[in-house]
Amino acid sequence: MANVDDIIAPIGPHGDNHTARAQKLGIGTLAVYGSGMLVQDTLGLGLGSLLLFYLTILCGMSGSAAGLALGAALVVDSFIDPLVGSISDNSRSRHGRRHPFMILSAIPIAVGFGLLFSIPTQLTGWGLFAFAMVMLMTVRVGLSFFQVPYIALGAELSDDYAERSTIVAARVLFTVVAGLAAAILAYGLFLKGHNGQLNRAAYSPYAWTCGGLVLVGAAVSSFGTLNMRHRLHAAPEDTSGGLARVLAEVIEVFKNRSFCILFSSCLILFIGLGVGGQLGQHANTFFWKLQPPQILVITLVVSVGYFAGVFIAAYLSRVWEKRSVAVLGISLIGVSQFGPVSLKLAGLIPAGAEVPTLMVGGICAGIGAASALIGFQSMMADAADEHEHLFGARREGLYFAGISFSAKASSGIGAIIAGLILDIIAFPHGLQAHGAPQVTIPMETIQKLALSHGPGAAIITAVSVAILTLYRRGKAEHEEVRAALVAKREKAA
């Protein structure tokens, strides 16, 4: 294992080998690289609907305070992403400009997540809020220092238009694995049993186990791809300028129309996902009245849809433009948000058919999420090539930091909105905190919760689709850009 001196030592001259990047990646390399998604996506369930539920229902925090904690941590973290992207783009070490950050960030992520769901029962009020904020910031900042270099690394592994979708597909497959692992650990092991999601003591071992999976994913992907450094681009010689350089690079990135469209569409999409996702556990428990085994089945079905979506998107990417694949994916997400809740409120779901209806919605959501993710991230890699063609600089880290910023900032806004909704509709909090008795929740309040969780989020998702239809770069345009870049490099050589 490398010591700190090795990590910060100057990089050698490797990194600009177009011939190496032209060689096809093996299945083993794709699997090792894809395992890095365990770091972020094992925590997705916990940082999503489980955490808002845990803080409000079990710890007694108000919806506004919990939403503010979740949202503020995400928004602050989102501003860190471009800085991390620029630092990574301009970093020089013998281990490359991506791997040192991936290696060093894993432990803070795992420890912070474990402590986040191990809040002492005596903490209330501002003490509870401060503890949650500190742990959230630890996890979120750690994820930035892992995920931004990790995604940028994937964009550098190949120059091939089609293989970039394959690299994204490898990440998506491990997203499925991580989601399955998290769901089974939560609803099949630690939170199982009647109303097991209301057992506060079960959340701590769940979180620490997820933290262990984070360490495994980080180690395999970081150390397993070190031998791929010869395929990567080298950092520029001039890395001076500090924050002024970062600001100039950010301004430069937003001069690319393709990036602006992808950024804006992603921003709106994740506001909708943030609102719907954060209210998911509340809706499952109080609107749909589901037990942990039923939630687990639905979650597994979503993962099956996600897994199928990888292959559906891979096939469609051969015959459709990437934009069309992403538009289809986001549209399916919107259908899954709008359909089940609307049918339930309209009285069109027969008694006992709630779970099958949610399973159909889950399949649509899974296929849609995989298609949207593969399309989005593959288009972003193409946009990074377009940026080099326009401005003469590689900005993969900053480009994917931009999408990460968009997703996190908007998810943070969605979390804040979700928390405010809980207070606006007078949804009670602290139902299980400190032995508090169950209370009767008015049906009108539960219906308002469902409308916000489903159709409300779907309306926001529809706006994201409309924005993405403005994207105009396709395979033909990308091939022109690639040819121009190859000619430029050959001339420089």
CATH assignment of the domain containing 134: 1.20.1250.20
State whether the Cα torsion 198-204-205-207 is positive or negative.
Answer: positive
Question: Is 334 contained in some domain?
Answer: yes
Confirm whether 27 is domain-assigned.
no
Closest by CA position to 139, among listed 118, 170, 169: 118
pLDDT-flagged residues of the chain (< 70)? 1-23, 91-96, 159, 161-162, 229-243, 394, 396-397, 431-439, 489, 492-493
Of 206, 215, 188, the closest CA to residue 38 belongs to 215
- Is 379 within a domain? yes
pLDDT for the residue numbered 439:
63
* Separation between Cα atoms, residue 404 and residue 103, nearest integer Å: 19
What integer pLDDT is reported at residue 276 of this predicted model? 93
What's the CA gap between 323 and 382, in Å, rounded? 12
**Which two tokens mark 354?**
């709630």
Task: Give the contacts of 27 (CB within 8 A, at least 6 positions apart).
Answer: none
Render 263-276 in DSSP notation, one character per residue: HHHHHHHHHHHHHH
55/62 Cα distance (integer angstroms)? 8
Going by C-beta distance under 8 Å and a sequence separation of 6 or more, which residues neighbour residue 254?
Answer: 260, 263
Summarize pLDDT for 81-103 with one digit per residue, the tens: 778 877 777 766 666 678 888 89
Domain containing 183 equals 36-224+241-492
Around Cβ 4, how many Cβ atoms within 10 Å?
9
Domain membership of residue 236 (yes or no) is no
Residue 416: both structure tokens together? 């804040």
CA distances from 354 to 104, 211, 284, 290, 299 (A): 45, 33, 11, 9, 14
**Angle at which helices 292-319 and 354-391 pack, to 10 degrees?**
40
Q: How many CA atoms lie within 13 A of 343 on its CB side?
A: 19
The answer to whether 186 and 206 are in contact (CB under 8 A) is yes
Return phi, psi of residue 10, to 5°: -60, 145
Q: Are 382 and 480 in contact (CB under 8 A)?
A: no
Question: Between the CA of residue 275 and those of 155, 270, 283, 327, 467, what are the distances in Å?
Answer: 30, 8, 12, 20, 19
pLDDT digits (tens, 9 = 90+) for 176-229: 899 889 999 999 999 988 888 889 999 999 999 999 999 999 999 999 888 776
Beta strands in 299-396, from DSSP E residues, in sequence order: none
pLDDT (0 to 100) of residue 11: 37
Residue 454: predicted pLDDT: 96
Q: How far apart are CA 217 and CA 245, in angstroms?
A: 32
Residue 9 lies in a domain: no
Give the residue from 388, 395, 397 showing the smallest Cα distance to 488.
388
Which one, of 153, 207, 197, 160, lies nearest residue 37 by Cα?
Answer: 153
In a domain, 234, yes or no: no
Residue 455: which residues within 8 A CB-CB, separation 6 or more? 337, 338, 341, 342
Counting the structural domains of the chain, the total is: 1
Give a yes or no: residue 415 inside a domain. Answer: yes
CA distances (Å), origin 459, targets 282, 339, 341: 20, 12, 13
Task: Report the candidate in 59, 55, 50, 53 with the shortest Cα–Cα distance to residue 436.
Answer: 59
Q: Whose CA is closest to 299, among 415, 192, 186, 456?
A: 186
Q: Has residue 193 been placed in a domain?
A: yes
